[in-house]
Structure 1
Amino acid sequence: MRRFRFAIIFLALVTIGCRSQSDRAPAIGVAYAGPATLALREEINPRSAAVGTAHHGERLELIQQRRRFFKVRNAKGEEGWTDERLLLTTEEVERLQHFNQQARTMPSQGSATTYQALNIHTEPSRFSPSFVQVKAGEKFDVLSHEAAPRKAPPRKPLVAAAPKPVTLKPPKAPKIPPPAPPAAPAAPKPPEDWLALSKTNLPPEEEKEIKEAEPMDDWSLVRTANGQSGWVLTRLLFMAIPDDVAQYAEGRRITSYFPMGEVHDGDEVKKIWLWTTIEQSLQPYDFDSYRVFVWSLRRHRYETAYIQRRVTGYFPVLVEPPGFSVCVNGPGGRRLRRVYSLNGIAVRPAGEKPCEAQTIEKLPADAHAMLAARAQEPESPSLYARVKGRLRSLRKRWFNR
């Protein structure tokens, strides 16, 4: 008898799971989860209970919109609300994947660390999703730098707005124009000395145009140990250069550093260091000074072997044995790469060559179309997911929970 009941219950569940999904809300669009773990809330209120989760890059169906909040459905059939700022469009996902592929080959500008948990964002913006978190004390590579506005950048809507209905107004009856007014009398002529009469004895007022500076943030492009790349606030990271060299920063921010060689002082081995620094933040360039430190065998401390100040420099700084090169603005604002050679502990200029800005290449023309076609492919949930979703909807309908 127990086996018979079990068979009946199993067949009923299979029948429920195989039923058409006509009771499910139709999808109005497709998006992808931005954060590492996205909580799907029961209500719009972010303090409401979580009814499901989605992981970074997971495909979600958009089924309802209220202002900037969307009700989404994941592959398991779980439905919940989330903020549109935590969702990625098809183009943003493809751009992020393409961006990560290029960032893997970018030269490191030094290792950095943080004293607190650090969120890595998809874009240099506080409003972009954070898909990876770096733990305190964990090291990562610094690749680039950018000063970006603090306000949220414009982005493509997740769901295209519906076209406004066209209302045809009935033609208005032609109005009969009123009769023309009588001609105005001729104005009297001004006096011959009207220019002298218009002069004033008061001092001219100085007009000052006061423009409020747009709030900006300094962002650094970083790459984690497992190869994931994204943007972090520069003020939250610290370059992991040894303290016996970092003490000579003189209040400047160290933006990059590189080991150039070694000096043997008895049983100790001291490295030769190259670093770049910047005095003021929120600049369109990456550094304004570079400096080489060598270990003094006579004084047993680090000393400056070469320094160049008041430059406008850009990443990447390249270590090219037996020396290095930096990209700076030359005469006329033209960028050039200055090459230096390191002979022992002596630094000598070794020439100049053209320098191109480090940029992220644009996506191929067919990349968006490929991912859009992939996003349109229906993902049929498994039997377990259909049964679970059906039971959840029945429980909510019968018990209102």
Structure 2
Amino acid sequence: MKRKLVIAVPLLALVALVAWVLRPKREAQGEAFVSEKVAPLLNSIAQVREQVGMVHYGERVDVIAKRNDYVKVRTNAGVVGWVESRQLMEPALWQRSIKLLDRTRGMPVQARGRTKVSTNLRVQPGRTEPRLYQFARNAPVEIVGRATADWVQVSDERDNSNEPQETKKEDWFLVRGVATGPPGDSSGRAAEPINTTQPGDQTVPIAGWVVTRFIEMDLPDPVREGAASANIRPVAWFELNRVSDPSGDKPQYLLAAARGPEGQTCDFTALRVYTWYAKRDRYETAFIENRLCGQLPIQLGKGPKDEPEFRFHVMDGKKEERVYRLIQTVVRRVREPGEVSGKRGSTKMGKPASK
């Protein structure tokens, strides 16, 4: 009996060891997150293949294998399939996107707009920076910041001469938007902080940098006409207040804009305030401030008598904060007691907004 046990125990141990070595290998090589609105899961990467499922933006997947431009993944639901590697982002990039979203949550909206074309959303300003997502055409976004980056020209845009090429810069907007997740829940959740998405999410909040030229601002007509008349590029706009009119309450607007080419250090160089003139039944340019070097964000507030106020910092050595107050149709700069009044910018009143 003892001899049988001496023989059986090693045999059982050997069988267990062989079974462990030959066990199915299902361990993942890592994890990734989906960076596309929708990405198909394929049963193989051969020419003849079938779709076995779909993954959506923000979904976490386990990486099982990699081959050429494809990655074999397993979803949280256990579905296994192949997806293009360009449709996934590394965990480190995903965490950067989460931090960027958290950073923008408390930033005041400076303007709203829509994408003119399919537009890449990047983690930092610059066309060579990692891509977080791609907005479809006509996707709504909220603009919360601005920066500049070098404009990297493609080979056919470059001058073939041996002379050194001047570095060009272009403007970028920091925007908030939503990425579409799996269908199911029709309620928007853009205000909820999340780290990953779950099946059933309809929209997922997202933030990043886009080229400003790819954004069409949703400007009110008085602001659009006033900017076109003054030949300035809108950067931010706000509704300051509303005034009574027989035809209904009329909003009055603040516009921050820039003049000249892109790539300037200043976020904006000009201010305009458009007020409603009831007697003439039209908007007029009540305030003009030029030769500024303003920095976003512009923040709105109220004066002691509930008058609209707006404030921002000037991009100079002192980072001076300026405060302006709208009193009826007159805009005045608010100064601290003892502050010396310097030379004012160009200030004019009573000009039609569209002329």
Note closer, same or farther for the CA distance 1:308–1:48 as it changes in structure 2 (3 Å cut): farther
Return 5+ residue gaps in structure 2 as ranges: 1-19, 154-161, 179-187, 192-204, 338-355
Instruction: For residue 64 of structure 1, report the CA deviation from its aligned partner.
Output: 3.6
Other-structure match for 1:344? 328
Instruction: For residue 235 of structure 1, report the CA deviation from its aligned partner.
Output: 1.7
Q: After the TM superposition, which residues 2-401 of structure 1 pair with which residues of structure 2 at under 5 Å, given as runs?
A: 22-24=23-25, 26-41=27-42, 42-43=44-45, 50-66=51-67, 69-75=69-75, 76-83=78-85, 85-114=86-115, 120-124=121-125, 128-131=130-133, 133=135, 136=138, 139-149=140-150, 210-213=164-167, 216=170, 218-224=172-178, 226-227=190-191, 228-231=205-208, 232-250=210-228, 251-279=231-259, 280-321=261-302, 322=307, 323-330=309-316, 333-351=317-335
Distance (whole Å) between structure 2 residues aligned to residue 37 and residue 51 of structure 1: 13
Instruction: For residue 114 of structure 1, report the CA deviation from its aligned partner.
Output: 4.2
Instruction: For residue 247 of structure 1, report the CA deviation from its aligned partner.
Output: 0.8
Note closer, same or farther for the CA distance 1:230–1:80 as it changes in structure 2 (3 Å cut): same
Tell me the SS of whatever aligns to 2:326: strand
Instruction: For residue 71 of structure 1, report the CA deviation from its aligned partner.
Output: 1.9
Tell me the SS of whatever aligns to 2:244: strand
Tell me the SS of whatever aligns to 1:143: strand
Distance (whole Å) between structure 1 residues aligned to residue 114 and residue 242 of structure 2: 24
Check the 8 A contact 1:220/1:233 in 2, yes or no: no
Instruction: For residue 89 of structure 1, report the CA deviation from its aligned partner.
Output: 2.3
Give the structure with higher Rg (CA): 1
Q: 1:157-214, CA deviations, whole angstroms, 9 ceiling, x for partnerless residues?
A: xxxxxxxxxxxxxxxxxxxxxxxxxxxxxxxxxxxxxxxxxxxxxxxxxxx9623425
Check the 8 A contact 1:44/1:82 in 2, yes or no: no
Note closer, same or farther for the CA distance 1:73–1:113 as it changes in structure 2 (3 Å cut): closer
Across the two proteins, how many residue pairs are aligned to each other?
Answer: 274
Distance (whole Å) between structure 2 residues aligned to residue 286 and residue 145 of structure 1: 7
Check the 8 A contact 2:141/2:175 in 1, yes or no: no
Distance (whole Å) between structure 1 residues aligned to residue 98 and residue 226 of structure 2: 39
Note closer, same or farther for the CA distance 1:281–1:150 as it changes in structure 2 (3 Å cut): closer
Amino acid in structure 2 at the alignment position of 1:240: D
Tell me the SS of whatever aligns to 1:335: coil
Check the 8 A contact 1:329/1:335 in 2, yes or no: yes
Check the 8 A contact 1:87/1:129 in 2, yes or no: no
Distance (whole Å) between structure 2 residues aligned to residue 308 and residue 290 of structure 1: 5
Instruction: For residue 35 of structure 1, report the CA deviation from its aligned partner.
Output: 1.8
Q: Of Structure 1 and Structure 2, which has the larger fraction of its residues in strand? A: 2
Note closer, same or farther for the CA distance 1:101–1:350 as it changes in structure 2 (3 Å cut): same
Check the 8 A contact 2:120/2:131 in 1, yes or no: no
Note closer, same or farther for the CA distance 1:217–1:306 as it changes in structure 2 (3 Å cut): closer
Other-structure match for 1:174? none
Distance (whole Å) between structure 2 residues aligned to residue 329 and residue 274 of structure 1: 20
CA RMSD of aligned residues (A): 3.5
Instruction: For residue 38 of structure 1, report the CA deviation from its aligned partner.
Output: 2.5
Note closer, same or farther for the CA distance 1:215–1:287 as it changes in structure 2 (3 Å cut): closer
Q: TM-score, normalised by structure 1?
A: 0.58
- Flag the structure with more relative contact order, 1 or 2, with Cα contacts below 8 A and sequence separation at least 6: 1
Instruction: For residue 122 of structure 1, report the CA deviation from its aligned partner.
Output: 4.9
Q: TM-score, normalised by structure 2?
A: 0.65
Return 5+ residue gaps in structure 1 as ranges: 1-18, 153-207, 354-401
Check the 8 A contact 1:218/1:281 in 2, yes or no: no
